[in-house]
Amino acid sequence: MRENRNMSKVMLAAAITAIAGGGVSIANAVSPCGEFGECKTLVEINASDGDIGFHFLMDGDDLIRAAIHNPEDEIIFRNGSWGSMREQFITETFVESAEPLCWEPEPEDEEYGELFVTLEEFIDRWQSGIYTFHGVGEGSNRPMGETTLEYDLPAAPTELDYDEGTVSWAPGSDLGECADSEELDELVAEGVLPVHPMDVPVAEWEVVFEADIPGDLKYSVRVPGDISEHEISVPQEFLDSLPANTPAKIEVGAIGFGDNATFYEEGDICINEVEDGCEFED
């Protein structure tokens, strides 16, 4: 009987994860996008770890090949299909670039490798402007669409906290490890950024509660950016389904109206703590 109850809890947790969605944000693509069903470009920043990436999404019907051109009409991505994929075609494609550090590590920090790009260098690499999507389908089907990449970057959430099932946070004023408020003031004054992140409206907050156990069960939800109380409750059924002494972390993302996103995370949370408590990784 107890095994059945435990199995039911695991199934319930999996169901919550599936319904709520899991983990990191992806683009809420603009639809339609010319002759594509959807397309979108965006910037995503992890303000706690200090990394930054370029993401895009495209969705078209029965494609054989697809490509993206930047505002200077240079091809920055191309893919194609062969064999069985050629027979069944391509539809949706979501791609994340590598996410280099946006802060310069000390020479002795070998663990971080050599990937490093300042926010200004990143903006120069991924220019704002119109990105054009091109596809090749069967026969004369050659869809085209375009979307605009902008640098309205929402500030990173701050004051993340977890207390007895409630995740809370506060709106921030900078980009965490990527740039503090003074650095952002300079970038705005120099015209590198169009607006200071603390002045960018938040369309939605994405909250992710992740249990650090096999299967990486997650509870994820989005709430409107203009909510009066910056907090959400993790369903008790989900928490009860987790084993004793489950390490967990929380992540909150500020999603702008152009889908640019800035996330911040906090770890070392112990769920259903008993006896010696949780063991956290260094």
pLDDT confidence tier of residue 48, bands split at 50, 70 and 90: very high
Rounded to the nearest integer, the mean pLDDT of the chain is 85
What is the C-alpha separation between 280 and 271, in angstroms, rounded? Answer: 12
Same domain assignment for residues 193 and 254: yes
Q: What is the mean pLDDT of residues 259-271?
A: 94
- Per DSSP, the chain holds a count of helices (H) and strands (E) of 5, 13
Residue 53 has φ and ψ, to the nearest 5°, of -140, 160
| Whether the Cβ atoms of residue 224 and residue 201 lie closer than 8 Å to each other | no
Cβ pair 32, 23 in contact under 8 A? no
pLDDT given for residue 101 in this prediction: 87
Instruction: Name the domain count of the chain.
Output: 2
Distance, CA of 4 to CA of 25 (rounded, Å):
34
CA dist 128 and 224 (Å) reads 26
Flag whether 279 is in a domain: no
Instruction: Give the 3-state secondary structure of 173-228.
Output: CCCHHHCCHHHHHHHHHCCCCCCCHHHCCEEEEEEEEEECCCCCCEEEEEEECCCC
pLDDT band at 137 (very low <50, low <70, confident <90, very high): confident
Q: Is residue 179 part of a domain?
A: yes
**Domain boundary, last residue among 149, 181, 198:** 149
Q: Read off the tokens for 188.
A: 């705005």
Q: Choose the final residue of a domain: 131, 149, 167.
A: 149
Res 156: pLDDT: 97
Flag whether 278 is in a domain.
no
3 state SS of 69: strand
Residue 18 lies in a domain: yes
| Residues 157 and 264 both lie in one domain | yes
CA-to-CA distance for 31 and 40, rounded, in angstroms?
9
- Residue ending a domain, choose from 149, 180, 204: 149
Q: Are residues 158 and 247 in the same domain?
A: yes
Backbone angles phi, psi at 221, to 5 degrees: -150, 150
Report pLDDT for 141: 83
